[in-house]
Chains A and B, each alone.
Chain A
Amino acid sequence: MRGGRHRGLALVTWVYIVWSIVPVLLAIRFAFNEGRSRSASQGWSLRWFTEDPNLSVLNDPTLRSALEQSLTLAAAAMLIATPLGVALALGLQRWRGRGEGTANRLTLLPLVTPELVFAVGLFLLFTTAFSFIGLGTTAQIIGHVTFSVSFVVVIVRGRLQTIGADVEEAAADLGAPPWDVLRRVVLPLLTPAIVASLLIVFALSIDDFVVSQYLASGADTTTVPMRIYAQARAAPTPALNALASLMLAVSLLALGLAYMTLRLMTRGERRTGSESALGQLATLETGGTSR
């Protein structure tokens, strides 16, 4: 009876897993087609990545610039959001007293705000009061940083909680001034969390569609998800699959590295299930949310 029930659950789970992953694997498979179809397998080639002189990702300027724009935004967002978020996490973790609750809520709110609301807000801001910034790459970077900062805070605070305040207090008792404690004690302990934050912000930015779309100013600010959205229904070639596959490879690479860093960080600390490195990645979007 018990075993039977588990077999049923196992079946549902494995069917779900196949359903959730196989479509994406097939989309990647079609990227390697020799022919023009993106709904059937037609041999194997790199035609749509590099070989086709006009239509491949390498040689079609619209596809190539989308990839470049996505990478530019991700790199910039990562480099701005991480220091902002690390500092914010450190501040919030120790802040006691007036304003603490409000500051905490302000940090968590972006995690649960529907992206459309957020994107409409930034779009209207940059087209009215902040028209000196205007729409375009700068606005897109600002948008990506804004939704990423909260994720960094969640990651870093999780780490701060496991470290505890003991080491820090010990250093302070031994007479180290606050900045020295921070630089020589806290930051080294936070290094894995900071590396993981950089990589996760990179992946969040690469995957983003709504904010990039609303803050774009024209063809040269089109990102990969925007290109896919614009062309998915327009009978394009497998070059679009190739572009999507490259994006996926880059973002999963970043996440794989983040996972390894988090694992390294929790090594020696016995943790299981949702407390493990994988569990942390899994529950990250739950605000410890979706973007």
Chain B
Amino acid sequence: MTGRRRIWGVLAAPGLLWLAVFFLVAFYAVVAVGMGNVTTLFEPVPHWNPLDWNVGYLQQAIEDLLPGGTSWPVFVRTVLYIGVAMALSLLIGYPVAYYAARCAGRRSGLVLLLLVVPFWISYIMRMFAWTNLLASDGYAAKALNALSIDSLFNALGLMEGSDWLGGQPITVILALVYGYVPFFILPLYASLDRLDQRLIEASRDLGASGFETFRRVILPVSMPGIVAGLVLIALPMFGDFFTADLMSGSPNTNMLGNTINGYIQGGPDKSLGAALTMLMSLFLLVFMTFYLRSARREQRERTA
């Protein structure tokens, strides 16, 4: 009996050890460098012992992020871009997920397949496709400019000039939506797919109109799916630097991910980059805990 028990520990050990070293210790390396020091050549010297921690970089990172700091405009921009991208994702994603889960009928297999495909195409490849189309002689740029969409966006203050890849906030936001909306649709699809048809029928039988049924039955029941989907796209968007790099390439559209990427990959400010990564992780930990909790609750309900 004890032999039977021990076997599970033995099986789990290598995987847990791997994750402990390359996930937990790696994250601790961010803390150690962020709380560490640098050599005269600006190479980071991590302080692994908490007693030696130096809070200087963390303090600077916090000051930078506060109003008046150097990263403050970037922080505001990041939250704004991600907020708008989340709202647009909800607006596009909800009807799509709803249709795929509840109305597609005999086409549901095909629709689901077509929704899964972009999910599994490399993100970089999908952004690259748009750099082809939005180049000044690209099909999409020519079509949009022929329809005067560029003038419309100019008039609305969303765009300057007609170069779609030339540092336009609207391009970066729409690219974020394009990139992440599949990750919103699929969890929402899963929750709408499990929705009990009898609830909808009961509401209809009791005389509710289609809209009322949606507002008072379907929407509340799908709320956990909506929240899970939004959290799921917010997390990677905060760590995104490649979308802005590929679709704009201008510092005017840089997000926090670009700032961190610049510090870590670029130059002498690795410690400041590590401190900023710590702060961002702390901020995102709230979302992550929330998500993991609701995922576990859902799993428990499903197995019960």
Contact = CB atoms under 8 A, between A and B. Distances in A.
- 7 tightest CB-CB pairs across the interface, nearest first? A91-B12, A88-B15, A114-B239, A116-B239, A121-B26, A91-B11, A207-B122
A282 B18 contact: no
A283 B280 CA distance: 26
Interface string B262-289: 0011000010011001001100100010
A109 interface: yes
B124 interface: yes
B239 A117 contact: yes
28 contacts: A6-B99, A9-B98, A87-B15, A88-B14, A91-B12, A105-B292, A106-B16, A106-B23, A106-B24, A108-B292, A116-B238, A116-B257, A117-B281, A124-B26, A124-B30, A125-B25, A146-B26, A150-B19, A177-B3, A207-B121, A207-B125, A210-B242, A228-B124, A278-B113, A285-B186, A286-B190, A286-B295, A288-B299
Given A117-B239, A178-B3, A248-B122, A278 B187 contact: no
Given A5-B210, A117-B27, A286-B186, 19 more contacts: A24-B118, A38-B132, A85-B15, A88-B11, A88-B15, A92-B8, A95-B8, A116-B257, A117-B30, A128-B29, A129-B48, A146-B18, A213-B265, A228-B125, A229-B124, A244-B128, A282-B115, A290-B183, A290-B236
A40 B139 contact: yes
Interface stretch (A13-21, A45-53, A61-69, A189-197): A13-21
Contacts of A172: 4
Interface of A: 1-2, 5-6, 8-10, 12-13, 16-17, 19-21, 23-24, 26-27, 30, 37-40, 84-85, 87-88, 90-95, 103, 105-110, 112-118, 120-125, 127-129, 142-143, 145-146, 149-150, 153, 161, 172, 177-179, 182, 203, 206-207, 209-210, 213-214, 225, 228-229, 232-233, 240-241, 244, 247-248, 251-252, 255, 273-274, 278-279, 281-283, 285-291
A161 B129 contact: no
A26 B132 contact: yes
B71 to A, nearest CB: 15
Contact of A282 (B131, B189, B303): B189
A225 B8 CA distance: 38
B152 interface: no
Contacts of A39: 132-133, 135, 137-139
B103 A91 contact: no
B56 interface: no
B246 interface: yes
A21 B119 CA distance: 10
A223 B108 CA distance: 36
A290 B232 contact: yes
A8 B96 CA distance: 10
B16 A115 contact: no
A219 to B, nearest CB: 16
B51 to A, nearest CB: 17
Contacts of B33: 124, 128
A279 B277 CA distance: 34
A282 B27 CA distance: 29
B123 interface: yes
A214 B265 contact: yes
B194 A274 contact: yes
B97 to A, nearest CB: 9
A153 to B, nearest CB: 8
Contacts of A93: 8
Given A20-B178, A128-B46, A172-B4, A84 B15 contact: yes
Contacts, number: 313
B99 A27 contact: no
B1 to A, nearest CB: 10
A129 B98 CA distance: 49
B127 A91 contact: no
Nearest to A289: B232
Contacts of B295: 108, 286-288
A12 B27 CA distance: 42
B23 A40 contact: no
A146 B23 contact: yes
Interface string B218-256: 000000000010001101101111100110010000000
B9 interface: yes
Given A146-B23, A149-B15, A12 B7 contact: no
Contact of A12 (B96, B260, B288): B96
Nearest to A110: B23
A274 B104 CA distance: 14
Contacts of B44: 124, 127-128
Contact of B99 (A12, A95, A115): A12
A114 B194 contact: no
Contacts of A273: 101, 108, 193-194
Contacts of B245: 229
